[in-house]
Amino acid sequence: MADHNAEKHAFIQVSRFSYLNCLAPGNVLAFSVMNGLMHKIIRTLKVGWLGFWAGLATFVVFVPVTIVARLDPTQRKAEYIVRFWARLILGVTGVKTRSSGLEKIQGESSYAIISNHQSHFDILALVVELPMIVRFVIKKELRKIPFFGYSTVVLSCIYVDRSDSAQAVQSLQAGIRRLPPNISMLFFAEGTRSPDGRIGPFKKGGFRTAQLAGWPILPVVVHGSRKVLPKGDLAFRSGTIEVEVLDPIPKEEVQARPWEEIMEDVRQRIVTRFEKG
């Protein structure tokens, strides 16, 4: 028994010495440097991984989606390829999606989809979860991206110059006139991704487009995407993104009410649901 107590005491002393030795200033500094280095390595690998797969997925679908979109005026078949592209990128980054409120979407109507914008992954989640053909309003700078730029033009996405409001409106109107039937347009009403997670002021583009096109408005809330990939960061994190569909505003109501009033109403509804999580 005495030998056992002596061994136990010796073990405690050695453990205490090892612990105190680890707390020595030099060791703490070395640990901190190693930890920081590992963090940078992991971040670099994640950025490279995302870039590789995003580029590969875009390259792989470029030819088939371009051909199919040109041969099928409805773009239904092309939409399957677009969803494959989105699912592939989500899958290799460990990001899952789910949705609620899809029963509120009526038939094959075209909608002006109004959503908050937290992350690059918002588009992927919306493409995968919304049971409709969704096209986007995109800033003109992205048209220069190889393969991506040309394929999105063929898919009837609309490029606008955000620095020139008058030109942007003209581009938007012209693009809407060229859209095949039953295609919905997605508008990130804030105009850009949120830098701090809060929902910013809305811009009028989506609401004015809904009135001009005679479309109902479909408010949508995206939850959790900022945790996966916030603005200014390409080091993704695995997680789950939820797409929540709110009650649509009928086209008759869109036509009858001032767009400013509708914009404030939709923003308030999206903010309320987003803050409740």
CA 147 to chain centre: 20
122, 33 contact by CB (below 8 A): no
Helix (H, G, I), strand (E, B) or coil at 197: coil
| CATH number of the domain within which 28 lies | 3.40.1130
Angle between helices 165-178 and 205-213 in degrees, nearest 10: 40
H helix runs in the chain, sequence order: 2-22, 25-71, 76-92, 121-129, 148-154, 165-178, 205-213, 225-228, 251-256, 259-276
Instruction: Look at residue 19 in the predicted model and tell me its pLDDT.
Output: 47
d(CA 119, CA 26): 40
138 within 8 A of 160, measured Cβ to Cβ: yes
C-alpha closest to that of 168 among 149, 140, 187, 201: 140
- Report the chain's mean pLDDT, rounded to a whole number: 87
Domain ranges, residue 110:
3-276
- pLDDT tens-digit readout, 246-257: 999 999 999 999
Band the pLDDT of 26: cuts 50, 70, 90: low
Residue 14 confidence class, pLDDT cut points 50, 70, 90: very low
Smallest CA-to-CA distance from 117 within 246, 244, 225, 217 is with: 225
pLDDT, tens digit, 9 for 90 and up, residues 134-191: 998 888 888 888 888 888 888 988 888 877 777 777 888 888 888 888 899 999 999 8
Model pTM? 0.83
Q: How far apart (Å, rounded) are the C-alpha atoms in residues 12 and 10?
A: 5
What total number of domains does the chain contain? 1
* Kind of pairing between the strands at 95-100 and 158-160: unpaired
